[in-house]
């Protein structure tokens, strides 16, 4: 009797243990292990029941107290989908058997300003045991918040803005880090197409998040470069926070215009003397300015003279560079029988362009011939008066001498 009572007492004492929950959940895998600030991601958490009993009506609540920087986009509460094992069709909704795994998926987000590092994220699991008693357990797993640099070319500028063959120019590329981590040892390297030469590398150091820097290259369009669009490859190399070296390839486009010819225009006209009368010998100076887009070489000006004008007809000016000036000089004479008036002088300008091709332009100028000034009679009257005075003095002296002789 006493033995039976002892056994009954032991059984009663052990009953809570026997009826206790023997479900034991563990986080087996988290994908992805790293979250990038500012970029939503789907977080898959795989959990296994390594206990000796099954669990029913299982659901999880991710970070219920918002203790981590991980924000859930949507409901934090996720039920395990309906499950029916082979031969166990009568089991309850969401049954997780011994050694069985299930995955809870959450769409999550980490704020863009979250500091990089590893954080502990809690996952609360709730279920009913085989006695239909509510049970819960909080599992902790680690998530690393680690951003990545993202370099873009946010601006392109060239000086001068219009490019021609045989033109030196500056290409400035503005690089911006729009990623979530700094980029170190940033290098921009150009891949130049045929016809463009110059600097190829620029070192920019470190670009922090949302930081900009400008890579400047001194380049030249060669004289034999063909016109049209040109693509310049840009290789952007940098080191991420994980120490790995990354390389991006970008592209910028330029356009090479066909170089416009030189253009010579009359910028000034002068005669010495300034007033031209019939019979005047004078020097004609004509100033030319090159307002075109290239140098004019071996410039020669030929003058067509109207009737009544004579003198040199050709002037050699050599090279007139773009935006520069030079003066053609002609020694001329106006015939004495030329009537007063305006006289057009036609000029033919010949020059070679930078490719050695001959060009011809025509320009017209006008010179004025004025009537000779009328001579005044006052000098003649003054001379006649002086002569009469001399004769009068002489006559008086002669008469006085005659009286003394008598």
pLDDT in tens, 149-193: 889 999 999 999 889 888 899 999 999 998 888 899 999 999 999
Q: What is the mean pLDDT of residues 29-38?
A: 90
User: Which residue is associated with the tokens 């009257």?
Assistant: 381
In the DSSP assignment, the letter for residue 163 is: B
Alpha carbons 377 and 162: distance in angstroms, whole number: 69
Q: Over the chain, what is the mean pLDDT?
A: 85
* pLDDT for res 285: 94
Alpha carbons 60 and 56: distance in angstroms, whole number: 12
Q: Which tokens is 163 given?
A: 């490019």
Q: Which of 148, 149, 147, 140 is nearest to 119 (CA)?
A: 140
CA distance to 343, 357, 361, per residue, from 255 (Å) = 47, 24, 29
Instruction: Please indicate whether residue 389 or residue 3 has the higher confidence score (pLDDT).
Output: 389
Q: Which helix (H) or strand (E) holds 2?
A: helix 2-19
101 touches 5 (CB < 8 A): no
Q: Which helix (H) or strand (E) holds 392?
A: helix 378-405
Instruction: Please indicate whether residue 93 or residue 294 has the higher confidence score (pLDDT).
Output: 294
Beta-carbon contacts of residue 312 (< 8 Å; ≥ 6 apart): 303, 330, 331, 332
* pLDDT for res 209: 85
* pLDDT for res 164: 85
Q: Which tokens is 358 given?
A: 């001959």
* pLDDT for res 3: 47
Q: What is the pLDDT of residues 72-97, one digit of tens each?
A: 999 999 988 654 444 444 444 668 88
Q: Is the pLDDT of residue 398 over 80?
A: no
Question: Which segment of 12-16, 24-28, 270-274, 280-284 scores lowest on mean pLDDT?
Answer: 12-16
| Preceding omega of 105 cis (within 30 degrees of 0) | no
Q: What is the mean pLDDT of residues 194-198?
A: 94
User: To the nearest whole percent, how much of the chain has pLDDT over 90?
Assistant: 59
* pLDDT for res 185: 95
Q: State the DSSP string of 63-77.
A: STT--SSEEESS-SE
Q: What is the pLDDT of residues 106-150, one digit of tens each?
A: 999 998 878 888 999 999 999 998 888 999 999 999 999 887 888
Q: What is the pLDDT of residues 350-384, one digit of tens each?
A: 999 877 889 999 999 999 999 887 655 556 566 66
Alpha carbons 18 and 151: distance in angstroms, whole number: 62
* pLDDT for res 7: 42
Question: Which segment of 58-62, 191-195, 239-243, 331-335 scores lowest on mean pLDDT?
Answer: 239-243
Domains of the chain with CATH codes: 21-145 (2.60.40.10), 151-256 (2.60.40.10), 264-369 (2.60.40.10)
In the DSSP assignment, the letter for residue 222 is: -
Q: Which tokens is 398 given?
A: 């002669």
CB atoms within 10 A of CB 162: 12
In the DSSP assignment, the letter for residue 195 is: T
224 touches 165 (CB < 8 A): yes
Instruction: Count the residues in the chain.
Output: 406
Alpha carbons 238 and 398: distance in angstroms, whole number: 122
Provide the pairing of β-strand 34-35 with 134-145: parallel
Q: What is the mean pLDDT of residues 255-282?
A: 89
Q: Is the pLDDT of residue 27 over 50?
A: yes
Q: Which helix (H) or strand (E) holds 6?
A: helix 2-19
Q: What is the mean pLDDT of residues 269-298?
A: 91
Alpha carbons 320 and 274: distance in angstroms, whole number: 27
Q: Which tokens is 278 given?
A: 């019939």
* pLDDT for res 179: 84
* pLDDT for res 82: 55
Q: Which of 171, 170, 166 is nearest to 225 (CA)?
A: 166
Q: Which tokens is 221 given?
A: 């369009």
Q: Is the pLDDT of residue 228 over 80?
A: yes
Per DSSP (E only), the strands in 14-147 are 25-31, 34-35, 41-49, 56-62, 70-72, 77-79, 101-110, 117-128, 134-145
* pLDDT for res 4: 46
Q: Is the pLDDT of residue 220 over 90?
A: yes
Instruction: Please indicate whether residue 212 or residue 378 has the higher confidence score (pLDDT).
Output: 212
User: To the nearest whole percent, how much of the chain has pLDDT over 70?
Assistant: 84
Q: Which of 284, 275, 344, 349 is nearest to 308 (CA)?
A: 344
CA distance to 157, 254, 257, per residue, from 228 (Å) = 18, 8, 6
Q: Is the pLDDT of residue 295 over 70?
A: yes
Alpha carbons 11 and 200: distance in angstroms, whole number: 86
* pLDDT for res 322: 87
* pLDDT for res 115: 80
CB atoms within 10 A of CB 310: 13
Question: Which segment of 36-40, 90-94, 335-339 scores lowest on mean pLDDT?
Answer: 90-94
Q: Which of 332, 344, 342, 337 is nearest to 370 (CA)?
A: 342
């Amino acid at each position: 009797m006493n033995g039976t009572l002892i056994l009954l007492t032991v059984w009663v004492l052990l009953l809570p243990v026997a009826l206790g929950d023997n479900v034991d959940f563990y986080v087996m895998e988290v994908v992805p292990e790293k979250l990038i600030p500012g970029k939503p991601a789907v977080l898959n958490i795989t959990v296994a029941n390594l206990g000796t009993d099954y669990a029913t009506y299982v659901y999880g609540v991710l970070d219920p107290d918002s203790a981590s920087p991980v924000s859930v986009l949507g409901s934090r509460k996720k039920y395990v989908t309906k499950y029916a094992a082979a031969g166990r069709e009568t089991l309850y909704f969401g049954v997780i058997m011994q050694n069985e795994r299930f995955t809870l998926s959450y769409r999550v987000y980490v704020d863009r300003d979250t500091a990089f590092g590893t954080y502990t994220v809690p996952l609360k699991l709730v279920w009913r045991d085989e006695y239909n008693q509510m049970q819960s357990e909080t599992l902790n797993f680690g998530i690393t918040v680690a951003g990545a640099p993202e370099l873009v070319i946010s601006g392109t500028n060239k000086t001068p803005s219009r490019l021609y063959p045989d033109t030196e120019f500056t290409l400035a590329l503005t690089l911006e880090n729009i990623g979530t981590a700094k980029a170190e040892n940033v290098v921009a390297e150009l891949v130049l197409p045929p016809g463009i030469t110059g600097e190829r590398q620029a070192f920019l150091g470190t670009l922090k998040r949302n930081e900009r820097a400008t890579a400047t290259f001194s380049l030249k369009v060669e004289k034999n470069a063909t016109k049209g669009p040109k693509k310049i490859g840009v290789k952007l190399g940098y080191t991420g926070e994980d120490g790995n070296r990354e390389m991006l390839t970008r592209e910028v486009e330029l356009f090479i215009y066909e170089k416009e010819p030189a253009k010579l225009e009359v910028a000034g006209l002068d005669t010495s003397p300034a007033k031209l009368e019939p019979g005047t010998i004078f020097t004609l100076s004509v100033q030319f300015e090159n307002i075109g887009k290239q140098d004019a070489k071996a410039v020669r000006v030929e003058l067509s003279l109207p009737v009544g004008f004579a003198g040199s007809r050709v002037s050699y000016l050599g090279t007139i560079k773009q935006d520069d000036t030079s003066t053609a000089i002609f020694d001329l004479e106006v015939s004495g029988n030329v009537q007063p008036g305006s006289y057009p002088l036609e000029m033919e300008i010949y020059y070679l362009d930078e490719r050695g091709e001959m060009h011809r332009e025509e320009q017209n100028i006008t010179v004025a011939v004025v009537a000779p000034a009328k001579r005044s009679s006052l000098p003649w009257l003054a001379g006649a008066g002086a002569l009469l005075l001399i004769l009068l003095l002489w006559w008086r002296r002669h008469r006085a001498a005659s009286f003394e002789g008598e």
